[in-house]
């Protein structure tokens, strides 16, 4: 025989109740059906009683709404006729009684637990009558006749022995063709016979008790999801159904907040080895989850993750605790005597501090009773007063296969650490089926997501991107991501999710991913934003595996990298300001990324998409030493000196470079050598030398006066230089030489000494820089290993699409695939 329990959502709507009817009627008889109150009714009954207690007249409206909901349900389920009449006749007096009770509460401003239990019982009483009438062959059984509780420390606990006997008696007469319908949750006190209940969510427990007492073949919990899932599906969008769980695993997950099954439910059926099935009323074809004693063919280490919000950690500390026998006994018996349940304990082996996780609502009382228990020790100073920290959440990862498997805790804490989540307390029992730990409640969602991603979603890795700057580079990058998304997902199991896009004035955010096909329209209609807001928003979104991508040239944006890295958000940037700015700030960014196990990448700062910085890093990491860097690093200047001719004067080449998009928005940054100096500084630093921009010696080709006025003045005055350039160019041409603007770093003989210069040089046909075409870049690296024949890297060194591709490559390296 089966016991089937249908939860609130399964009796919440006409559609769901009709599903229930179909499911139940298709079962071989006899069968026992346990029902909850109509979805949401228990909460509403309680809320209404609080209104009445507060003397708020609106309790009446609320009461009428509850009543109306039930009558509407009856009207929708039953055509006019004797069945409907009979049902209305049965339930109408319930509402008369309930209204009188509320009125009493309203008048005398008193709501005792007893009255509250009476009020809340109407939910299941009503729903069970409706369902019993609807189901063909349904007979209603009154659970208050056989579920009995007893008061222990002010709580109603099941009297199992008496209940089991009464259940057996009550169902002894159940005919082989019958379907018994039983209200869940509600009970009676064994002594006073007053109405009580089994606690919120208790209908599951009612069903388990009946199943155990009658040695049922199976207990089915019918709800609104496809079974027990790897995590709470309301928080983790990618949670999926677990096919099979052991009783122990299910118990651990339920105890830590997996609401799908009420925790006490497991024990009675586990003792009798009765399997539990969790099924979906809205999708009965889905096999759901089977919970049983032993799981043979599932070798996954971790089965599920669950969590409890509202955790307070109470720490009992004191020097007298070390080695003293009995402190723990006193802590736990004090808490137990006061009906306070402890769901996590952590004690360091030094024994001078024990941390206890309790629910927020029990925290004050727990502190009070423990302070009382240890008052003598506190007075003498041997122990400190209890310390309570609230605003926390507890998370548990659960799986029986963790037993004797090394590395799970390492993976767990490593994953959290990389996401900047610090663990406040943790515990793992010797049974090794559960590791639980406490974090700041504000980090709960992020913690659950990173853990779920790391333990369950090896199928896909998700990288969450914030893209700042939607000019030529940013725009190109977004297009590249959009066109690569599907391919990366299918072939690399990588989901590149853009969760934020910002321009200098506006920003859009979407945790679930922005539609990149329509981002321009979204941006056009977006809220105004600025750098400060952008920073706050990104940090407060607190998304796991996230990367801030800077495609601007803004100093303000560069100034917020440190905040991102401090919050474990990696930074990928095409903006050179941070890496070439003050050395200490650059060094701090690098160090933070290293310490936190995240990335600060800026490959495109030098040579756009060319692998220059990465190559220098690889050489250094493998023990090589960079002795000399010689490079043409300005696409703009190279373009200018390659284009200048008898027909195209100097000023015209500058204009062309700007037009073709090689130059910085303000070309003076290129012409004054600043851009090259920045790049040289970055390469020199990456090669292991401490350098500032001011240390670089410059030999420029334009008088300083050209850089002093406005941009308009600059363009106006530029042709003044043409004649002189043409004269010099002619000489150069006759000598078969070319101009190159060369950046150089040379290590000096002493150990740390080095020299950095940028200068316009002339090179002859034999020099490797001679043939460098267009806006290309070239880098010659002389190292201890590449001494006689330096390493040479050459290619496109400017342009939006190669830069965007370089940024993309940096992002991909973070995905680490």
Binding-site partner at residue 185 among ligand ADP, ligand ASP, Mg ion, none, CB < 5 to 8 Å by type:
ligand ASP
The contacts of residue 182 (CB under 8 Å, 6+ apart) are 32, 33, 34, 35, 128, 140, 141, 143, 206, 210
Q: Which of 497, 506, 679, 747 is catalytic?
A: 679
- Residue numbers 185-224 binding ligand ADP by CB under 6 A: 201, 223-224
Binding-site partner at residue 123 among Mg ion, ligand ASP, ligand ADP, none, CB < 5 to 8 Å by type:
ligand ASP
10 lies in the binding site for ligand ASP (CB under 6 A): no
Helix extents (H) in 82-188: 82-108, 113-134, 160-171
609 lies in the binding site for ligand ASP (CB under 6 A): no
Give residue 608's Cα distance to chain centre: 33
- Look-up: residue for tokens 């960014």? 589
Q: What is the DSSP string of 228-282?
A: SBSS-TTT-TT--B-SEEEHHHHHHHHHTT-TTS-GGGHHHHHHTT--EEEEETT
Applying CB under 5 A, the span of 125-133, 199-207, 269-277, 403-411 interacting with Mg ion comes to 199-207
12 lies in the binding site for Mg ion (CB under 5 A): no
Parallel, antiparallel or unpaired: strands 600-601 and 791-796: unpaired
561 lies in the binding site for ligand ADP (CB under 6 A): no
184 lies in the binding site for ligand ASP (CB under 6 A): yes
227 lies in the binding site for Mg ion (CB under 5 A): no
Select from 281, 268, 358, 269 the least CA-distant residue to 314. Answer: 358
Applying CB under 5 A, the span of 7-15, 22-30, 265-273, 685-693 interacting with Mg ion comes to 7-15
- Residue numbers 10-39 binding ligand ADP by CB under 6 A: 10, 36
Distances (CA, A) of 227 to 32, 242, 454, 487: 20, 7, 22, 32
Select from 704, 766, 769 the least CA-distant residue to 739. Answer: 769
Angle at 331 between CA 153 and CA 427, to 5 degrees: 105
CA distance 291 to 250: 7
Applying CB under 6 A, the span of 36-44, 142-150, 460-468, 644-652 interacting with ligand ASP comes to 36-44
CA distance 609 to 800: 10
The contacts of residue 300 (CB under 8 Å, 6+ apart) are 399, 401
Provide the minimum distance between the beta carbon of 294 and ligand ADP in the complex, in angstroms, as a whole number: 21
Provide the minimum distance between the beta carbon of 8 and ligand ASP in the complex, in angstroms, as a whole number: 5
- Residue numbers 88-117 binding Mg ion by CB under 5 A: none
782 lies in the binding site for ligand ADP (CB under 6 A): no
Strand partners, 428: 435
- Residue numbers 189-218 binding ligand ASP by CB under 6 A: 200-204
Provide the minimum distance between the beta carbon of 202 and ligand ASP in the complex, in angstroms, as a whole number: 5
185 lies in the binding site for ligand ASP (CB under 6 A): yes
Binding-site partner at residue 546 among ligand ADP, Mg ion, ligand ASP, none, CB < 5 to 8 Å by type:
none
132, 166, 214, 260: which one binds ligand ADP (CB under 6 A): 260
Nearer to ligand ADP (CB atom), residue 5 or residue 674: 5
234, 294, 329, 404: which one binds ligand ADP (CB under 6 A): 234
- Residue numbers 36-95 binding ligand ADP by CB under 6 A: 36
42 lies in the binding site for ligand ASP (CB under 6 A): yes
Nearer to ligand ADP (CB atom), residue 181 or residue 470: 181
114 is an active site residue: no
184 lies in the binding site for Mg ion (CB under 5 A): no
CA distance 77 to 74: 5
The contacts of residue 812 (CB under 8 Å, 6+ apart) are 494
114, 151, 155, 259: which one binds ligand ADP (CB under 6 A): 259
* 19, 163 Cβ separation under 8 angstroms: no
Nearer to Mg ion (CB atom), residue 7 or residue 123: 7
* 636, 657 Cβ separation under 8 angstroms: yes
Size of interface with ligand ASP, in residues (CB under 6 A): 13
183 lies in the binding site for ligand ASP (CB under 6 A): no
CA distance 63 to 105: 13
Parallel, antiparallel or unpaired: strands 626-632 and 600-601: unpaired
Contacts with Mg ion by CB under 5 A lie at 7, 201
Site residues for ligand ADP per CB under 6 A: 7-10, 36, 201, 223-225, 228-229, 231-234, 258-260, 304, 306
Q: Which residues bind ligand ASP (CB under 6 A)?
A: 7-8, 36-37, 42, 123, 184-185, 200-204
Active site residues: 679
């Amino acid at each position: 025989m089966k016991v089937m329990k249908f939860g609130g959502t399964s009796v919440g709507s006409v559609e769901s109740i009709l599903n229930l009817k179909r499911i139940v009627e298709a079962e071989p008889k006899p069968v026992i059906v346990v029902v909850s109150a109509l979805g949401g009714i228990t909460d509403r009954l309680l809320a209404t009683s609080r209104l009445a207690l507060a003397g708020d007249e609106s309790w009446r409206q609320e009461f009428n709404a509850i009543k109306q909901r039930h009558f509407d349900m009856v009207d929708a389920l039953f055509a006019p006729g004797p069945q409907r009449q009979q049902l209305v006749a049965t339930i109408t007096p319930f509402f008369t009684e309930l209204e009188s009770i509320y009125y009493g509460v309203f008048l005398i401003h008193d709501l005792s637990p007893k009255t509250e239990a009476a009020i809340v019982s109407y939910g299941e009483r009503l729903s069970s009558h409706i369902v019993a009438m609807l189901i063909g062959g349904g007979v209603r059984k009154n659970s208050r006749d056989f579920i009995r509780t007893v008061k222990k420390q002010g709580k109603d606990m099941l009297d199992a022995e008496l209940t089991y006997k009464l259940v057996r008696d009550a169902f002894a007469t159940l005919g082989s063709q019958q379907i018994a319908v039983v209200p869940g949750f509600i009970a009676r006190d064994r002594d006073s016979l007053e109405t009580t209940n089994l606690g919120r969510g208790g209908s599951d427990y009612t069903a388990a008790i009946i199943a155990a007492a009658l040695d049922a073949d199976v207990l089915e919990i019918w709800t609104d999801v496809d079974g027990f899932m790897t995590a709470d599906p309301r928080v983790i969008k990618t949670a999926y159904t677990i096919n099979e769980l052991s009783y122990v695993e299910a118990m651990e997950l339920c105890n830590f907040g997996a609401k799908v099954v009420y925790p006490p439910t497991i024990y009675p059926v586990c003792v009798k080895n009765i399997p539990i099935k969790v099924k979906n009323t809205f999708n009965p074809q889905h096999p759901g989850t089977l919970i049983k004693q032993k799981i043979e063919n599932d070798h996954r280490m971790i089965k599920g993750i669950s969590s409890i919000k509202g955790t307070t950690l109470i720490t009992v500390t004191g020097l007298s605790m070390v080695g003293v026998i009995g402190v723990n006994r006193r802590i736990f018996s004090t808490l137990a005597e006061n009906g306070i349940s402890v769901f996590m304990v952590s004690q360091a082996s030094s024994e001078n501090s024990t941390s206890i996780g309790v629910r927020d609502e029990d925290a004050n009382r727990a502190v009070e009773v423990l302070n009382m228990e240890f008052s003598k020790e506190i007075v003498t100073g041997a122990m400190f007063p209890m310390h309570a920290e609230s605003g926390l959440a507890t998370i548990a990862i659960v799986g029986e296969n963790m037993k004797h498997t090394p590395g799970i805790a390492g993976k767990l804490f490593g994953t959290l650490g990389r996401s900047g989540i610090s663990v406040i307390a943790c515990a793992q029992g010797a049974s090794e089926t559960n590791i639980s730990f406490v974090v700041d409640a504000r980090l709960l969602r992020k913690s659950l997501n990173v853990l779920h991603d790391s333990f369950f979603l090896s199928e896909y890795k998700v990288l969450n991107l914030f893209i700042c700057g939607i000019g030529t580079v940013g725009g190109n990058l977004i297009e590249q991501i959009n066109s690569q998304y599907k391919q990366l997902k299918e072939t690399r199991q990588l989901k590149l999710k853009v969760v934020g896009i910002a321009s200098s004035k506006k920003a859009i955010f979407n945790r679930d991913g922005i539609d990149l096909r329509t981002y321009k329209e979204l941006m056009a209609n977006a809220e105004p934003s600025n750098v400060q807001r952008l920073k706050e928003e990104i940090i407060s979104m607190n998304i796991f595996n996230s990367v801030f991508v800077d495609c601007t040239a803004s100093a303000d944006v560069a100034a917020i990298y440190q905040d991102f890295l401090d919050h474990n958000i990696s930074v990928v940037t095409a903006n050179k300001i941070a890496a070439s700015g003050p050395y200490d700030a650059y060094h701090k960014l690098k160090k933070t990324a290293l310490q936190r196990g995240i990335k600060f990448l800026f490959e495109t700062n030098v040579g756009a998409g060319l692998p220059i910085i990465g190559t220098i890093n690889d050489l250094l990491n493998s023990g090589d030493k960079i002795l000399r860097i010689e490079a043409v690093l300005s696409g703009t200047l190279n373009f200018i000196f390659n284009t200048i001719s008898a027909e195209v004067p100097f000023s015209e080449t500058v204009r062309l470079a700007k037009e073709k998009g090689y130059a910085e928005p303000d070309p003076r940054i290129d012409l004054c050598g600043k851009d090259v100096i920045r790049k040289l500084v970055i390469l020199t630093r990456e090669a292991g030398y401490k350098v500032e921009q001011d240390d670089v010696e410059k030999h420029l080709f334009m008088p300083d006066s050209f850089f002093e006025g406005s941009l308009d003045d600059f363009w106006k005055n530029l042709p003044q230089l043409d004649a002189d350039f043409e004269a010099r160019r002619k000489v150069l041409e006759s000598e078969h030489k070319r101009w190159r603007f060369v950046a150089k770093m040379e290590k000096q003989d002493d150990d740390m000494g080095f020299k950095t210069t940028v200068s316009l040089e002339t090179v002859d046909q034999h020099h490797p820089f001679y043939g460098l075409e267009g806006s290309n870049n070239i880098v010659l690296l002389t190292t201890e290993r590449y001494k006689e024949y330096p390493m040479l890297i050459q290619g496109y060194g400017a342009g939006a699409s190669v830069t965007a591709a370089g940024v993309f490559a940096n992002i991909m390296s973070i995905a680490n695939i």
